[in-house]
Amino acid sequence: MDAKDRKSSVREYVSSILVAVGLALLIRTAVVQAFYIPSGSMEDTLLVGDYLLANKFVYGAPIDVPGTDVSLFRFPALRDPAPGDIVIFKSPQDANRDLIKRCVATGGQTVEIVNKTLYVDGQPFRDPPLSKYTDRRTLSAAAYSRDNFGPYTVPNGHFFMMGDNRDNSSDSRYWGSVPKELIKGKAMSIYWSWAPDTAGPYYSGLGSLPRVLGNWVTRLPGRVRYERLGDIIR
């Protein structure tokens, strides 16, 4: 192989890498993105330690300036979030943080919560199959908006979000409805899940590293929630 052939091969190799990287970035930006569940606000539908894939294409993926919360534009949406969808969106309080909740109402609909029962347009909203209530108390609206709220009409172009863990979720009951421009994607499926490691030992310097890694490897098979792998999120 002469110098000219080698240069041609290098160019083809570099071009292939650039195309592959470009496609990967396009897919992550506009089609599918991975997310991790760090809190229990969607229990028992989603658990701490679940890793899921989100469909960003269906709602029209936002294209952000790298390293910022500024969106350049959005791809055209196939549809808007609908009541019952589990949605990933930027926090209305912190643009650098993503949240995941269930959409229960859209623009123009009226939300009211009476003694923990959710009503949308005057009709009871059916609790998701794996939702739960963990506090036997029912708090008054004067004390807290968790159990008694509204009536509140969702503005056009906004969505009212609630966690399935009704008594332990910071959601639209506290910080209002979510504007469409903050919507990022629809939860699709769980590709990995493991229970948090609560037994230790935990890292406390280089000397602890062998013991930490040894225990981590030993307990890993028992922490994986094999039955959740591949589950479709509903």
Residue showing tokens 């229970």: 195
Mean pLDDT in runs of 10 for the chain (234 residues)? 52 54 47 87 97 90 62 77 96 92 98 97 96 95 92 97 97 96 93 85 76 76 91 94
- Given a contact cutoff of 8 angstroms between Cβ atoms, the answer to whether 167 and 134 are in contact is yes
Q: What is the pLDDT of residue 105?
A: 98
Q: What is the pLDDT of residue 27?
A: 46
How far apart, in whole angstroms, are the C-alpha atoms of residue 78 and residue 60? 7
Q: For residue 33, give Cα distances in angstroms to 24, 53, 165, 191.
A: 11, 6, 24, 12
pLDDT in tens, 27-49: 455 567 889 999 999 999 999 99
From 90, 101, 184, 186, active-site residue:
101
* Domains along the chain with CATH numbers: 33-228 (2.10.109.10)
From 41, 131, 169, 177, active-site residue:
41
Q: Which residues of 133-170 are buried (b: 16+ CB within 10 A; e: fewer)?
A: eeeeeeeeeeeebbbbbbebbbeeebbbbbbbbbeebe
How far apart, in whole angstroms, are the C-alpha atoms of residue 188 and residue 201? 34
Q: Residue 41 catalytic?
A: yes
- Given a contact cutoff of 8 angstroms between Cβ atoms, the answer to whether 98 and 35 are in contact is yes
- Identify the three-state secondary structure at position 52: strand
Q: What are the residues whose beta carbons fall under 8 Å from the beta carbon of 26, sequence distance 6 or more?
A: none
Question: Is pTM beyond 0.85 here?
Answer: no
Q: Residue 101 catalytic?
A: yes
CA angle 131, 134, 138 (to 5 degrees): 105
Q: Are strands 178-179 and 183-193 parallel, antiparallel or unpaired?
A: unpaired
Residue from 26, 93, 95, 32 nearest 59 by CA: 32
CA angle 69, 179, 46 (to 5 degrees): 85
pLDDT in tens, 118-164: 999 999 999 999 999 999 999 998 888 999 999 999 999 999 999 99
Q: What is the pLDDT of residue 23?
A: 43
Q: Are strands 50-55 and 183-193 parallel, antiparallel or unpaired?
A: antiparallel
How far apart, in whole angstroms, are the C-alpha atoms of residue 80 and residue 172? 18
User: In 31-157, where does DSSP find H-type helix?
Assistant: none
